[in-house]
Amino acid sequence: MKMKSWFISLLLVLVLSSLCFSSFSTTVSYDSRALLIDGTRRIIISGSIHYPRSTPEMWPELIQKAKEGGLDAIETYVFWNAHEPVKRQYNFEGNLDLVRFIKEVQNAGLYAILRIGPYVCAEWNLGGFPAWLRQIPGLQTRTDNQLFENEMQTFTTMIVDMMKKEQLMAPQGGPIILTQIENEYGNIQSGYGDAGKKYIQWCAQMAESLNVGVPWIMCQQSDAPQPIINTCNGFYCHEFQPNNPNSPKFWTENWTGWFKAWDKPDPHRPAEDVAYAVARFFQLNGTLQNYYMYHGGTNFGRTSGGPYITTTYDYDAPLDEFGNIRQPKYGHLKELHTVLKSMENALVYGNFNSTQLADGVYVTEYTGKGITPACFISNNKNSGDATVEYNGNSYFIPAWSVSLLPECKDEVYNTAKVNTQTSVMVKRKNQAEDEPEVLTWSWRSETMKHTLKGAEGSFTDHKLLDQVPASGDTSDYLWYMTSFDYDDHNADMDMTLSVQTKGHVLHAFVNGKLIGSQYAPDGQFSFTFESVVRIKPGKNYITLLSGTVGLQNYGAYFDTVATGIAGGPVELLEGNTTHDLSSNLWAYKVGLNGEDKQIYVDSPHHKWHSGSIPTMKPFTWYKASFKAPLGTEPVVVDLKGMGKGMAWVNGNSLGRYWPSSIANNQGCNQCDYRGSYNADNNCRTGCGEAAQQWYHVPRSFLKGELNTLVLFEEAGGEPYSVNFQTVSVGTVCGHVEEGKTLNLSCGGDRTISEVQFASFGDSAGTCGAFQKGNCDSETAFAAVQKACVGKTMCSIEASEVALGASGCKNITVSLAVQAACS
Ligand SMILES: *[C@@H]1O[C@H](CO)[C@@H](O)[C@H](O)[C@H]1NC(C)=O
Ligand SMILES: *[C@@H]1O[C@H](CO)[C@@H](O)[C@H](O)[C@H]1NC(C)=O
Ligand SMILES: *[C@@H]1O[C@H](CO)[C@@H](O)[C@H](O)[C@H]1NC(C)=O
Ligand SMILES: *[C@@H]1O[C@H](CO)[C@@H](O)[C@H](O)[C@H]1NC(C)=O
Ligand SMILES: *[C@@H]1O[C@H](CO)[C@@H](O)[C@H](O)[C@H]1NC(C)=O
Ligand SMILES: CC(=O)N[C@H]1CO[C@H](CO)[C@@H](O)[C@@H]1O
């Protein structure tokens, strides 16, 4: 008995102590080759997912998909201006719950890389800097300035302490293995002279003093002080070398695509090129790389930077804006990760050397005592496929591709040979029962009567102020109000109102009437507005509404770039006489009355008109009720017909909308993955179309039966074609060589309803445009039909056994399939 209870106590002690240490402490260090996790060199494949660009409800699935895609780590920036919108008033709620996000990463069994910055760039409003920084006299950001350094240290320390308190650092058993201070400062450091050098030393010392227990990194910082690891950002980083022989070669931003602007078509970076860049990096002794972005997401609210970054931050990432798997990018990279991981030991412990096999073709061998060798063969030329002999075998290496040979014998993967399906996404209605085709709208005008008479100003000045410091950036809008006395005259006079603005949008009113609106053209954010106006004898009201569309996030002194009518001049031109109003007494009012009153929140206190709905009427609020589309697929709202403004669902901001902004015609040429990717000139789609027509409505914003959509229309639009849709796979395609297996899946519950094309022979073309060649198996179509129709997924071996003889002579035979999902 005694013996037994002693034994039970021992058991209890053991159980308790193992509970206490259930999250084992992990040591993270590095040497010249790799990151060391518990003393072992590791290959780390990471991907960026920014927590505020999705919702907490989406996080677990995004992270799980990242894990299934072969990632070891999730990387995120920390968004200072979101967390501290008002000095010392913090927000870590909802999609700003950083701790919850890192814990989700931990729950999935992944590592986390925390890029605190707190400058983040990231196409995020003001690069993450709170607008109140500029309201501190004497403060200068990102340089040797005590006032800024104090603020930066306060915030950085708070984040580190928060992570430590929650036991989230690796030595505490948490997932965080790396932390970043500053961000791409090296790119712009020269603009700050010696003060910049002092600042970066300060950053390093401050960071090191926080004792995070894991290494710090700086990206694009060739003078990163030891022991901080200098890392590379770019489309390609294989030629990068860290600034210290004791630092490993890390790539913190591998741009999987590119961001989008309101005046530009959609960028796409081909899967073959991303895979090529990754394979080249690991071929040339890189050991940690991060996809920027793995999931881009959405710029909700007023978070997008720029100017002119769209609300969608899809980024052409492996997971699309809504969290859907983007194929073939996701699958093609997943396969690469699997093969790289199988080579891990050789890559981090082997010796390596490269030998030229042919013009532009190199084999890199990783070998060592007791190590299974691993090889890469790369063809680095933009054109000119190569067939090379190596170790007695022959390899076909297409131009701009890398083959991976895990045992230096068989090619297991080539970056240009895509075996993964292509998924073409479509939007479907999935309308709830008795949901009408056209929504029923009510409306109200933005109340401006008093504003247009110069009343309602909250402060005045005898000059034209810079919008951001004047408004604290709490709204896109700042009213500039003054009056002009046209005394000693008894007749009206036509004059020209001339306004010089630093951007981005200007609406001009004279005597209560909108006389014109102007939007900054492509890349030129300052412009002059001119319009003939009728001036009457006596007092005339000049009221100017300036609007911003995302604030600068990049460049030396980016945060001091003036916006709004800063400095003017504002003039009335009367024949040869100029009436300069710039130093008049100007009254200022920040934001719209509707924003102040939170018209976008459903409340019985807000009065709405029904009946005849005004269209093409600027400064109008619209409201409609709707039922959520059926099912669980991601929801978008189609805002075709609307002009420019902001949208809310159940009080949650979907971000800015601007479907009337048309993408320019640059870059929509044929897309060739070969050669260095250029986001501006290649592979874009949507030229001449609405820059963004569909806006993500996260499922978690929706309530069961009745939901409210509110739009603030600034430019004038008509809401009758606004409707809700869901996003899912519409068509799947695949094209694999004989000997490979083609897997097709519609995702979710959708099934393959029809095989539209199937050929086992020498067909050519791409998804949506396959063409039969000269030879084909007669039974292939039926075999594919039998294997796939009615199934959510199917797997077909590209072989004569499965598909019948192709009859092709002396050529490479392949299987091409296109099928519809429903
Ligand atoms: C990577 O290889 C290059 C070329 O051999 C060498 O100069 C460099 O020191 C290596 N870097 C690392 C981090 O191993
Ligand atoms: C480099 O390549 C040569 C020729 O293939 C080989 O003999 C040598 O062992 C290799 N060295 C290393 C360090 O792998
Ligand atoms: C404006 O100036 C021009 C040239 O200086 C002159 O010819 C013209 O008469 C002036 N017009 C008025 C209305 O003063
Ligand atoms: C294709 O599907 C089969 C059956 O589900 C699976 O075993 C195989 O791993 C898949 N292949 C790839 C490349 O995903
Ligand atoms: C097969 O193709 C190769 C290379 O294109 C060519 O040299 C050979 O003559 C061809 N053989 C036949 C039987 O057509
Ligand atoms: C140099 C630069 O633009 N930096 C950016 C690089 O990549 C992404 C762009 O999507 C940004 O987040 C970086 O900070």
CA dihedral 151, 157, 158, 162 (to 10 degrees): 160
pLDDT grade for 432, boundaries at 50, 70 and 90: confident
Which amino acid is present at 456?
E
Q: Are residues 601 and 710 in the same domain?
A: yes
| Mean pLDDT of all residues in 243-249 | 92
Helix residue ranges, H only, 76-212: 80-83, 98-107, 146-165, 193-209
The reply to whether 634 and 609 lie within a common domain is yes
Among protein residues, the one whose CA lies closest to atom 7 of ligand 1: 241
State the Cα torsion 232-237-242-248 to the nearest 10°.
Answer: 100
Residues 673 and 634 in one domain: yes
Residues 241 and 174 in one domain: yes
Residue nearest to atom 6 of ligand 2 (CA): 353
Nearest ligand to the C-alpha of residue 69?
Answer: 4
Report the alpha-carbon distance of residue 610 to residue 663 in Å, rounded.
34
Instruction: Name 712's Cβ contacts closer than 8 Å, sequence gap at least 6.
Output: 446, 592, 594, 599, 600, 620, 621, 645, 646, 647
Bridging pattern class, strands 40-42 and 35-37:
antiparallel
* 343 assigned to some structural domain: no
Measured in Å, residue 701 CA sits from the centre of ligand 6 at: 29
Quick one: 545 and 647 in the same domain? Answer: no
Measured in whole angstroms, how far is the alpha carbon of residue 36 from the centre of its chain?
30
705/7: higher pLDDT? 705
In a domain, residue 455? The reply is no
Q: Determine which residue's CA is closest to atom 4 belonging to ligand 2.
A: 355
Sequence-distant (6+) residues with CB within 8 A of 527 are 500, 501, 503, 506, 518, 520, 521
Q: What would the two tokens of residue 153 be?
A: 């240290």
What pLDDT shows up at residue 4?
55
Residues enclosing ligand 1, CB less than 6 A?
Answer: 32-33, 241, 248-249, 285
- Amino acid 480: pLDDT: 98
Domain span at residue 407 reads 350-416
Q: What single-letter amino acid sits at 545?
A: L
| Active-site entry in 75, 151, 182, 253 | 253
Cα 183 to Cα 176: distance, rounded to the nearest angstrom: 18
143 and 218 both lie in a single domain: yes
Number of domains the chain contains: 5
pLDDT tens digit sequence for 376-431: 999 999 999 999 999 999 999 999 999 999 999 999 999 999 999 999 999 999 88
Q: Do 438 and 529 belong together in one domain? A: no
Ligand 3 site, CB within 6 A: 575-576
**What are the pLDDT digits (tens) for 445-487?**
999 999 999 888 999 999 999 999 999 999 999 999 999 999 8
| Per-residue model confidence as pLDDT tens digits over 625-679 | 999 999 999 999 999 999 999 999 999 999 999 999 999 999 998 899 999 999 8
Average pLDDT of the segment spanning 3-15? 53
Full-model pTM:
0.94
Residue 509 lies in a domain: no
Instruction: Specify whether 52 is located in the same domain as 163.
Output: yes
* Burial (0-12, 13-18, 19+ Cβ within 10 Å), 118: buried
Residue nearest to atom 4 of ligand 4 (CA): 795
Q: What is the mean pLDDT of residues 225-251?
A: 92
Q: Is 253 assigned a catalytic role?
A: yes
Helix axes 59-68, 98-107, angle to 10 degrees: 40
Instruction: Give the pLDDT confidence score for residue 8 in this predicted structure.
Output: 55
Q: From ligand 6's centre to the CA of 259, what distance in Å?
A: 9
Query: Separation of 352 CA from ligand 2 center, angstroms?
Result: 7
Considering the domain architecture, whether residues 749 and 720 belong to the same structural domain is answered as no
Render pLDDT for 337-387 as a digit per residue (tens, 0 to 9). 999 999 999 999 999 999 999 999 999 999 999 999 999 999 999 999 999
Is there a domain that residue 557 lies in? yes
Beta pairing partners, 217: 180, 229
pLDDT over 50 (residue 16): no
Whether 19 shows a pLDDT value over 60: the answer reads no
Q: Is residue 355 domain-shared with residue 303, that is, in the same domain?
A: no
Residues 552/307, Cβ–Cβ less than 8 Å: yes
Same domain, 259 and 321: yes
Residue 572: give its domain's CATH number.
2.60.40
Whether 333 is in a domain gets the answer no
Known catalytic membership, residue 184: yes
